[in-house]
Amino acid sequence: MKAIVDCNSFYCSCERVFRPDLMNRPVVVLSNNDGCIVSRSDEVKALGVEMAVPYFQAKPVIEKHGVEAFSSNYNLYGDLSWRVMETLREMVGKNNVEIYSVDEAFIDMQHIPAEQLHETAMRMRHTVEQWTGIAVSIGVAPTKVLSKLANRLAKKNKKKTQCVLVLNDPEIITEALIRTPVSEIWGVGRSYAEKLVKWGIDDAYQLSRMPEEWARKNLGGVVGVRLIRELKGYHAIDMDDELDSKKMIATTRMFGTPVSDLQDIKEAVATYTSRAAEKLRRQYGAASVVSVFVVPREERKPDEKYSHGTTVSRHIVLPYATSITQELIKPALQLTEQVYVKGLKYKKAGVMLSGIVDDSSIQGNLFIDESQQKEKNRMLMAMMDNINFSMRDDALKFAASGTDRNWKMRQEFRSPRYTTRWNELPEVG
C-alpha cells in the first residue's frame, strides 16, 4: 500500500501557524511580484476565487470579504516543509518517505497491516499537525495513482473523512474511480483530459477499463500503460530514492519591474550565480557548464490569457569544473552581454549550472602551480557561506551583485520570516 501526505493549502497554512487569528478566515498567498494567487484557503475557494487568477482581478472580492493577502515567503515555507518531512521520516523511517514536492510526500505503507492502515494514517495526520502546526490530508491505496485519487476525495469530504481516506476494498475503489473526472487524475494533463472526454471517457473508472495497448497508442506510450495499470490497482510506479546530488542547479527570478539597463541585468545574473554556486558547494560539486537566459517583456495579444514570453539563452563550457563563485560569475556576465539587446525590456533572468561533477574528482593542471590559490579560494568560499548562512540576506557578496538592487521582485505583503531570521522571531506578549 502507498500513501500520499498532502499539506492543506500549504502556503496559507504556513501563514496561519504564526497568525492564529487567521484560523477560519479567508487567506490567499500571491506569486512572485504579487502577480497571481497561488494558494487559497477553503474560505476563499467558497467565495469563487480561482487559482492562478491575477491579484488585481480578484482584488474587489478580496477587499469586500476582508481576505488577508500575503506575498510568497519562501524562507518560511521551505523551513516548515522541511519540518513536515522530518516528522514523517521520524514516524515511518527515512527509506519509506519519498518527497514529491514542497507540500507532498509519498509513504510506503507495505509494512503496515491492512486493519491498521486507517489508524496509522490518522496518527500520522495528528502528529504532523501537533508537531508543525500544518494540517494535512492523507490518501492510502494500493498504488500511487489511486492514493492521489484517495487524497483528493479525502479533501473534498473533510467532515466525513477527517482528511484521511483508505481505499483497500475493490468496491470502494470502484466507487472512488466513478466519482473522479479524468481531468482530476494524477498524470492526466489538460490536453489529454479534453481528448479523453471527446472519446467518451469521462471518469477514472471508464479510463481504467481501457486496454493497455490502447493506452500505449493514445496516452503517451509506456507512461499511459503505467497509468492504466495503476488505476487497475497494479503497482507500476516505484517509490523513488531521495536525490542527494542534483545534476543541474538553476536560480531564476522575475524582476520587480521590467528592466532595460544592462548593468541591472548583470547585477541580477551575478546574484543568481552566487546563489547557485552556494547550492553547488552544499552538495560538494563543481560545474563545467554555465548557462544564462533572459525573458523579454512582450505585449500581450487581446485574446491571449497568459504568455511566458520568448526565452533567449546562451551557454559556455568552462576549461575546468569549478565551484568558486568568482570563476562562475565572470563567464555568466559575458553570456549576459551576448543575450542582451539594447532597447528591450526584460521581465526575468536566470542562471543554470550543469556538467556537475564531484569537487574531489577535479584534476589539477600539471603545468600551473595553482594548488595554493585554489585552497585559498575554497577557504574564502567556506567563510562566505558560513557568514551568509548565519547572518542571512547576503551579508557578504561580490561587488558585481550590486548594492541597490532595484530589480528585485516585489513582496509588498510578505510576512516575517519567523523561523529563519533572529530579528523576525515571533514575540510572545
In a domain, 305, yes or no: yes
Per residue in 212-228, pLDDT tens? 999 899 888 899 999 99
Q: Is 362 left (phi over 0), alpha (psi -120 to 50) or beta?
A: beta
pLDDT of residue 331: 95
> Domain ends where: 75, 110, 131?
75
pLDDT of residue 253: 86
Residues 216, 271, single domain; the answer is no
Residues 187, 126, single domain; the answer is yes
Extract the C-alpha cell encoding 43. 474560505
Residues 188, 264, single domain; the answer is no
Q: What is the pTM of this model?
A: 0.79
pLDDT of residue 305: 52
Residue 45: give its domain's CATH number.
3.40.1170.60
Contact present, 70 and 27 (Cβ < 8 Å):
yes
Residues 288, 372, single domain; the answer is yes
Q: Please list, in sequence order, all residues whose beta carbon lies within 8 angstroms of the beta carbon of residue 13, skipping any fewer than 6 positions away.
A: 7, 133, 134, 135
Helices (H), 24-183: 42-46, 55-64, 74-92, 117-132, 144-156, 158-161, 170-178
Per residue in 97-151, pLDDT tens? 999 999 999 999 988 999 999 999 999 999 999 999 999 999 999 999 999 999 9
Per residue in 249-291, pLDDT tens? 999 888 888 899 999 999 999 999 999 999 999 888 999 999 9
pLDDT of residue 178: 95
- What separation in angstroms does the CA of 420 have from each of 271, 382, 396? 20, 20, 18
Residues 87, 182, single domain; the answer is yes
Residues 344, 389, single domain; the answer is yes
In a domain, 268, yes or no: yes
Extract the C-alpha cell encoding 147. 492514493
pLDDT of residue 308: 58
> Domain ends where: 231, 263, 293?
231
In a domain, 242, yes or no: no
Contact present, 228 and 212 (Cβ < 8 Å):
yes
pLDDT of residue 255: 87
The 3-class secondary structure across 204-219, one letter per residue, is HHHHHCCCHHHHHHHC
In a domain, 118, yes or no: yes
In a domain, 214, yes or no: yes
Residues 215, 263, single domain; the answer is no
Contact present, 154 and 161 (Cβ < 8 Å):
yes
Residues 225, 260, single domain; the answer is no
Residues 207, 272, single domain; the answer is no
In a domain, 384, yes or no: yes
Domain count, the chain: 3
Pick out the chain residues at pLDDT < 70. Answer: 240-245, 299-309, 361-373, 392, 429
Residues 256, 352, single domain; the answer is yes
Residue 258: give its domain's CATH number.
3.30.1490.100
Phi, psi of 292 (to 5 degrees): -130, 135
Residues 38, 65, single domain; the answer is yes
- Report the alpha-carbon angle 330-336-340, nearest 5: 155
Closest to 24 measured CA to CA, from 6, 41, 49, 46: 41
In a domain, 240, yes or no: no
In a domain, 418, yes or no: no
Closest to 276 measured CA to CA, from 172, 169, 351: 351
Residues 61, 86, single domain; the answer is no
> 45 is in which domain, residue-wise?
4-75
pLDDT of residue 133: 95
pLDDT of residue 299: 67
